[in-house]
Structure 1
Amino acid sequence: MTSAASEPHEGPAPTEAQLAFVEDFALVLERMGLVRMAGRAAGWLLVCNPPEQTFNQITDALRASKGSISSALKTLTTMGWVDKATKPGNRRDYYTIRPAILPELTRQQTGMYAGLTAMTQRGLELFDDPRGEQAARVRDMHEFFVWMAREMPALLDRWDSERRP
């Protein structure tokens, strides 16, 4: 068994097109609040070959420090975007993007809308006239969260039914 430090890169080296995609993907996720290196790691795991990558393969492909990749993978596994697994007789960890993760995460987040709706309802109660101009900012959020709580489950059900063979 080779040590993790001398592990050969399996599969082809990343292409410039793949690396450009990875960087663009990372920038999009960064605008959504994720650390850029976590976005790079997720982007790489979307396009890499083989789809299961070891820590060193990811570090190699992204030409990044072990510390930044370690932090990125910890974030992604904690968030549920990435699975970490081992193989019998092999001490290495393998990372993959979880299949169908976005619908699953969206379904989990749908429960947040009840809390957000209750919170914005409290905000509306601060105003003498919840329908008035002063309450417009809170009311806009409240109405959006009520709408999302109502619509998101049906949207996800439709996604599931359209994806079934």
Structure 2
Amino acid sequence: MDPREGEFVDRMGLVMERFGGTRTMGRMYAWLMVCDPPHQSLTELAARLGVSKTAVSTVARQLELTGMIERVPTASREHRYQVAAGGWEHVMKVQFAALRQAVETLDLGLAAVGGDRPEQRARLEETRDFFAWTERDADDMLRRWRDSREDLDR
């Protein structure tokens, strides 16, 4: 990988850490976005990223489960991976689903403090309202994203 690709790969590792993943996850995903051919074996990924094949295998499974990469069919037993279309959208859908649990938990907190603790209630209500608003807007945001992609394809 050339130095500019290497910098990109390393920076995506930091981005993925900010999203709660691992640096290797971000580095692997980044490499799969720019590599040629666009699908790579576990051995190739380990060599390019300078990590063990075991680490690459573990991260590949995690990225595959999140829908960010997919296994490519091969004639051999070798596993090859490539970036999956819509991977980040899928990740966001999973994250947005957690908003429902946050709203329900904050409702529980509101019931626990009752009406006689206005300061605590105000903090809980603001947080609950934020998560409820975000949850309502999430589906619309993803729809707008898909519409914008369709407009680009036309």
**Residue in structure 2 matched with residue 10 of structure 1 by the alignment:** none
User: Residue 107 of structure 2 is aligned with which of 121, 134, 138?
Assistant: 121
What are structure 2's unaligned runs of at least 5 residues? none
TM-score by length of 1: 0.82
User: Residue 133 of structure 2 is aligned with which of 129, 136, 147?
Assistant: 147
1:108-127 CA distance string (max 9 Å, x none): 43333222211111111122
Is residue 2:153 matched to residue 1:159?
Answer: no
State the Cα distance separating 1:151 from its structure 2 match. Answer: 0.5
Indicate the percent of aligned positions where both proteins have the same amino acid.
Answer: 27
Contact 1:113/1:149, CA 8 A, preserved across alignment: yes
Superposed CA RMSD:
1.9
Name whichever structure is richer in helix by fraction: 2
1:41-69 CA distance string (max 9 Å, x none): 11111211111111111111112221221
User: Residue 67 of structure 2 is aligned with which of 67, 76, 80?
Assistant: 80
Report how many aligned residue pairs link the two structures: 151
User: Residue 23 of structure 2 is aligned with which of 33, 36, 39?
Assistant: 36
1:76-109 CA distance string (max 9 Å, x none): 122221101222x322211011111111232343
**Residue in structure 2 matched with residue 54 of structure 1 by the alignment:** 41
Q: 3-state DSSP class of the match of 2:78? A: strand
Contact 1:83/1:96, CA 8 A, preserved across alignment: yes
* 2:130 counterpart letter in structure 1: F
State the Cα distance separating 1:24 from its structure 2 match. Answer: 0.7
CA distance in 2, matches of 1:104, 1:31: 18
CA distance in 1, matches of 2:117, 2:143: 33
CA distance in 2, matches of 1:137, 1:106: 26
Flag the 1:18–1:125 CA change in 2: closer, same or farther, 3 A: same
**Residue in structure 1 matched with residue 8 of structure 2 by the alignment:** 21
Query: Which ranges of 4 or more aligned residues in structure 1 deviate by more than 6 Å?
Result: none
TM-score by length of 2: 0.87
1:1-34 CA distance string (max 9 Å, x none): xxxxxxxxxxxxx111111111111111112221
